[in-house]
């Protein structure tokens, strides 16, 4: 977990990237999928797992165009961020991280 002093700058960049000014912001395979409600719904209907697995199957880690080192990222804290992070642990199966 990181604490950053430039939170306002980070919020501005997140809004520019995602169009969303609230947190959490959830990204799967480099693509913004939404916030807490969207992530929880995607987990419940199985689409979150499919997005992660589909991205893993299509990605070539040796391709120089591959620009990220993660499958899923939850940015933001509070109850929504915690709920998203908790849901995402069920995808990895290890209970501590999302991939």
Q: How many structural domains does the chain have?
A: 1
83 inside domain = yes
Domain that holds residue 48: 26-92
User: Is 11 part of any domain?
Assistant: no
Q: Is the peptide bond before 24 cis (omega within 30 degrees of 0)?
A: yes
pLDDT at residue 97, as a whole number: 41
Task: Assess if residue 14 is contained within a domain.
Answer: no
Note whether residue 12 is domain-resident.
no
- Interatomic CA distance for residues 91 and 58, integer angstroms: 18
Distance (Å, whole) CA 72 – CA 7:
21
User: Using 50, 70 and 90 to split pLDDT, how confident is the model at 95?
Assistant: very low
pLDDT tens, position by position, 39-84: 989 988 888 888 888 877 676 767 776 666 677 888 887 888 888 8
Identify whether 50 is part of a domain.
yes
């Amino acid at each position: 977990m990181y604490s950053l002093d430039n939170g306002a700058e980070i919020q501005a960049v997140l809004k520019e990237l995602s169009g969303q000014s609230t947190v959490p912001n959830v990204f799967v395979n480099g693509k913004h999928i939404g916030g807490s409600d969207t992530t929880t719904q995607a987990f419940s209907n199985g689409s979150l797992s499919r997005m992660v697995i589909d991205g893993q199957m299509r990605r070539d880690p040796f391709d120089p165009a591959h620009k990220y080192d993660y499958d899923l990222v939850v940015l933001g804290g509070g109850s929504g961020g915690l709920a998203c992070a908790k849901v995402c642990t069920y995808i990895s199966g290890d209970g501590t991280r999302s991939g």
